[in-house]
Chain A
Amino acid sequence: GQSLEQPSEVTAVEGAIVQINCTYQTSGFYGLSWYQQHDGGAPTFLSYNALDGLEETGRFSSFLSRSDSYGYLLLQELQMKDSASYFCAVRSPGNTGKLIFGQGTTLQVKP
């Protein structure tokens, strides 16, 4: 089966940098994804790592180490609007297409 662990809450101030970690256990690996969900909204896709290393998309970056079954989402120049829940997710092996989510990290950005 698949399981993912991430911190439940993170707090940071505006303008700072925050890192949200995710460790996973999977029977097969098809990449690690990150999703953002604002309160009352739908999850939106942020980034995806299939290979080791850093992927950068604007203020957000995502890192993967397959040997450590570990990844993180890095948010730079934090803004108040970044306050949201962040989920890491892995695709279930095989041809099922299922996406399995971590428990989510609630990020609170303070002024």
Chain B
Amino acid sequence: SAVISQKPSRDICQRGTSLTIQCQVDSQVTMMFWYRQQPGQSLTLIATANQGSEATYESGFVIDKFPISRPNLTFSTLTVSNMSPEDSSIYLCSVEDGGGEPVGYGYTFGSGTRLTVV
């Protein structure tokens, strides 16, 4: 399965500032997914990052707040902009193993970025 390196693992940020989270995958993947997990909650998909095109955002998430870059098939960044305490969460990137075939392969997640906004 794929191996994902996610940075930073945690950060404490001042409100109004921005943080960029990076994910590097050890293999080429078509789609990368960014999730948010608020304390004690499930994972909520923020957006899908596709190489060569704009990211696709889920309802409730906008590009101005969560700009995403996908410069190549192994790398993506998510920026959390103009942060407020409500943005305090764990942010995770993910890829689908198995070459995109929905036939029994799982998804691999990065180790997560634990963000605290003060």
Contact = CB atoms under 8 A, between A and B. Distances in A.
Given A42-B111, A42-B112, A98 B48 contact: yes
Interface in B92-117: 92, 94, 96-97, 100, 102-112, 114
Contact of A43 (B43, B56, B100, B105): B43
B110 A97 contact: no
Interface string A74-111: 00000000000001000100001111111110000000
B105 to A, nearest CB: 7
Interface size class of B (residues with CB under 8 A): 20 to 34
Contacts of A102: 42
Interface stretch (A10-18, A44-52, A65-73): A44-52
B109 A42 contact: yes
Contact of B107 (A41, A45, A96, A103): A45
B33 interface: yes
Q: Is the interface of A mostly helix, strand, loop or mixed?
A: loop
A98 B43 CA distance: 12
A23 interface: no
B104 A97 contact: no
B107 A48 contact: no
Nearest to B43: A101
B31 interface: yes
A48 B48 contact: no
Nearest to A6: B42
Nearest to B30: A97
B104 A45 contact: no
Given A30-B102, A48-B105, A42 B43 contact: no
Interface of A: 30-31, 33, 35, 40-46, 48, 50, 87, 91, 96-104
28 contacts: A31-B104, A35-B106, A40-B114, A41-B111, A41-B112, A42-B110, A42-B111, A43-B92, A44-B109, A45-B1, A45-B97, A45-B107, A48-B105, A48-B106, A50-B102, A50-B104, A87-B42, A96-B48, A97-B30, A97-B33, A97-B48, A98-B33, A98-B45, A99-B33, A99-B94, A99-B107, A101-B42, A102-B42
